[in-house]
A and B are shown apart, each in its own frame.
Chain A
């Protein structure tokens, strides 16, 4: 099983700041890496797929990068609605997909 490790577990920032979230895979997943946002009581929402492609309707302040084992989700300037939990997910060995444990982005 491919294990995804996200860091940090919690990130405390203020609106307007830049957020950088990391996801490391236990083995190469090529670019088969997605990012999801989840707010309390809501379903996850797809933000980024295949490491760097924004999903439909996702604002340009969200960007993804990386390949192989190291990936980054960047939010260029935080909006109040961006404070949530973020998960990375790999589909390299579909259908045995796995998720990271999540990074909680909280207001400082």
Chain B
């Protein structure tokens, strides 16, 4: 069974930092590119960042560029999102999501909630 389990969310003050993690199981993690997608409370979905299988290609949404850093450790089957200079508008559930070979986002984790508030 394919599983993606996120952790690391919580309450952080504006300007602070958090590091999210996602542990994958049930598939060959190193064979798939990965994404972070977020969903603000009661709102729709917003793609945040993408990383290729070997970490050679990385993309960010304009809304997080320069503040967030995506990375992965294929030996640990893990995906990360380092979030710096957090803003209130970063408050959301953050999902780890797998990209299929056809660049379709096919599996999602259950998400971890990040709340940015003073």
Contacts and interface: CB of A to CB of B under 8 A. Distances in A.
A43 B59 CA distance: 22
Interface of A: 34, 36, 42-46, 49-50, 55, 87, 89, 91, 94-102
Contact of A44 (B45, B46, B104): B45
Interface stretch (B8-16, B83-91, B106-114): B106-114
Contacts of B75: none
B110 A99 contact: no
B95 interface: yes
B44 A102 contact: yes
A89 B102 CA distance: 14
Nearest to B51: A95
Contacts of A96: 47, 59, 61
B106 A91 contact: no
Which of A55, A94, A97 has the most B CB atoms < 10 Å from its CB?
A: A97
B102 A50 contact: yes
Which of B44, B47, B102, B110 has the most A CB atoms < 10 Å from its CB?
A: B44
A35 B111 CA distance: 19
A95 B47 contact: yes
Contacts of B107: 46
A99 B45 contact: yes
